[in-house]
Structure 1
Amino acid sequence: MAQKPPGRETYTMIRVNIFVEGQTEETFVRELLYGYFLAKNIYLNPILVKTSSTGKGGVVSYAKIKPQLNRKCLEDKTAIVTTMFDMYALPNDFPGSHSIPKTKDPFQKAEHLEREMGKDVGHKNFIPNLLVHEFEGLLYSQPDAFSLWFDEGVVSILQAERHAFPSPEHINDHPQKAPSKRIRNCCKGYDKALHGSLLALDIGLDTIRQECQHFHQWLLRLENLISS
């Protein structure tokens, strides 16, 4: 049964519309974030981006995404609009994609792209956010969780990959070495739609926030809306 926002009696409720890339991210918001934020009087509404008149999912073109963000911002100016898009493999027309600072710091890159997207959308009720580098990066917060779904040997491989970087969000965005590619290479049968949100649930929001600084800062910003 679909969850509905609280009624008028809870007029102090902050409403946040989160545009996501796919069903895995949509489930992640509903299963991991929704209840946590509802307890803080913040109602989260995940929205799957549309890529065509019939299709949904994926940021294949910023030109197709911007009008959706714009409409939602204008629809209710008392509600917040934010995003949970992968920084990995963003389309070439994404704001700031041709002026990314030459640095190895993924957070500086993400902040640059978010600033440029924020300026391009241009609404005060818009909070730009990118996952560094992609959703699967969050799953490196606790490689042990993979033992529930895959062969035991997978855990040691994923742990070694995790410890090779300062944090899960530092695991790089090379086409062959992005988090999703690494996981698929060692976890035979890995299916993001099937395993992604289940693994995240097993890991837990607290652990993901402890391990993933940029993701944590986004959630803090949303939490602080209630006192702003």
Structure 2
Amino acid sequence: MVARWSYLLSYLLNQIVVTLKQDTTAFVTTFIDLYGLHKPELFPNWNEALILKRNPYQRVIKLEQGMSDALPENLRHRFIPNIILHEFEGLLFNDLSHFENQFNENEFRNKTALINVLNDFNNPELINETKENSPSHRLENVIFNNFKKLYMVFKLQKVLD
């Protein structure tokens, strides 16, 4: 699996370089989930980023810098690395009233756990500390429904309106 991830990362960086060389007016960005990285130790600047574990924003900046530094210097100004600190579902954890307005009381599996998450994190982006505690996993633990993400998106779409 290490070889596969290493290959995918090399392929990604190569595609960025090819695109930037082929179109000298193009800008390229990424959309990479920080906590979804498989074999992250192969990612540029990973070891340096581990030191910053208590500050996820600085950690993301360090990893994005590593991606940029992996490219030829003359192309870096047109590359915008973007590593996402949060899952989409994390955006839903900004206000209890959004949940209460969209779900009936009997749809909550553990409303107390939801309230605790909202109280424990002053910023929804910081909820995503491990894969097991990711926002999507937390939602599964607090709301009854097997349709998971699709259901959540439909039920909570007003949150983002």
Using structure 1 for the length normalisation, give the TM-score: 0.53
Match of 2:78 among 125, 144, 147: 125
CA displacement at 1:147 relative to structure 2:
4.8
Amino acid at match of 2:92: L
Amino acid at match of 1:138: L
CA displacement at 1:164 relative to structure 2:
0.5
Q: Which runs of 5+ in 1 are unaligned?
A: 1-51, 53-59, 206-228
Larger helix percent: 2
Matched, 1:99 2:48: yes
Separation in structure 1 between the aligned mates of residue 31 and residue 82 of structure 2, nearest angstrom: 6
Larger strand percent: 1
Q: Which runs of 5+ in 2 are unaligned?
A: none
Separation in structure 2 between the aligned mates of residue 131 and residue 197 of structure 1, nearest angstrom: 19
CA 86–195 in structure 1, closer or farther in 2 if over 3 Å, else same = farther
Separation in structure 2 between the aligned mates of residue 67 and residue 135 of structure 1, nearest angstrom: 28
Amino acid at match of 1:191: K
- The one-character-per-residue Cα deviations of 1:5-39 (angstroms, maximum 9, x if unpaired) are xxxxxxxxxxxxxxxxxxxxxxxxxxxxxxxxxxx
Q: Secondary structure at the match of 1:141?
A: coil
Separation in structure 1 between the aligned mates of residue 115 and residue 55 of structure 2, nearest angstrom: 21
CA 69–164 in structure 1, closer or farther in 2 if over 3 Å, else same = same
In structure 1, the residue matched to 2:26 is: 79
Aligned CA RMSD, in angstroms, stands at: 3.1
CA 144–71 in structure 1, closer or farther in 2 if over 3 Å, else same = farther
CA displacement at 1:171 relative to structure 2:
0.9
CA 73–175 in structure 1, closer or farther in 2 if over 3 Å, else same = same
- The one-character-per-residue Cα deviations of 1:92-142 (angstroms, maximum 9, x if unpaired) are 322122221244111111111111112113422111112113332222234
Using structure 2 for the length normalisation, give the TM-score: 0.70
- The one-character-per-residue Cα deviations of 1:39-89 (angstroms, maximum 9, x if unpaired) are xxxxxxxxxxxxx9xxxxxxx942342233333333433232112221113
Separation in structure 1 between the aligned mates of residue 139 and residue 60 of structure 2, nearest angstrom: 22
Aligned length: 146
In structure 1, the residue matched to 2:139 is: 183
Taking only the aligned residue pairs, the percentage that are identical comes to 29
Q: Secondary structure at the match of 1:137?
A: helix
